[in-house]
A and B are shown apart, each in its own frame.
Chain A
């Protein structure tokens, strides 16, 4: 069955960097776009970034553009989120999520989510 397992969260000081990982299994990773989504109690759920199935197309939320980079390693079935210049308002649970349709599909939704990894940005 489809499994998404995030790791890499922790406590980090403002201005520092952190890389999140998402290990996937149970589907052909190279066929599907992947997303990162974050959640806080105050602001709710926020879409962060998406990467196409072949890694050639990426989009970011304005709040993270220029600081975060989404990437994937198909050979390892891994999705990543490199987070630089972290701010206190980046504190959240970060989820990776699978796009529902493969290839060039234009309107896939989130059909599977990982369990999340907590990132706390604090001095």
Chain B
């Protein structure tokens, strides 16, 4: 199975900050990498697919980059609605696996 490792586990930031979350795969996932946002009691929401493609309706302050085994999610200017937990997930081959999550907290 491909292991997905996210860092950091927790991130404290202020409104307006630029935030970067890293996701590392134990082997290449060929760019088949998605990012999700999850708020308490809610289902995950798709933000980014194919490493860097923005899902429709997602604000342009979210961006994804990377290839092979190293990926990043960047929020260019953190907004109050962005305080949440973020997960990466590969869909290259079964079993699909997730990172353990990064909680973005208010500083």
A115 and B42 within 8 A (CB): yes
8 Å CB contact of B94 from A50, A110, A111, A114: A50
Q: Which residue of A lies closest to B6 (CB)?
A: A44
B46 and A45 within 8 A (CB): no
Q: How far is the CB of A110 from chain B (nearest CB, A)?
A: 7
Number of A-B residue pairs, CB cutoff 8 Å, is 52
A111 and B55 within 8 A (CB): yes
Task: Annotate B91-102 by CB proximity to A: 1 below 8 A, 0 otherwise.
Answer: 110111111110
A109 and B91 within 8 A (CB): yes
A44 and B98 within 8 A (CB): yes
Given A44-B101, A62-B95, A109-B34, list of 18 further CB < 8 A pairs? A44-B87, A45-B98, A45-B101, A46-B98, A47-B95, A47-B98, A59-B95, A61-B95, A107-B92, A109-B32, A109-B46, A109-B91, A110-B36, A110-B91, A111-B55, A112-B46, A113-B43, A113-B44
* Chain A residues near B (Cβ < 8 Å): 44-47, 50, 59, 61-62, 95, 100, 107-116
* Chain B residues near A (Cβ < 8 Å): 32, 34, 36, 42-46, 49-50, 55, 87, 89, 91-92, 94-101
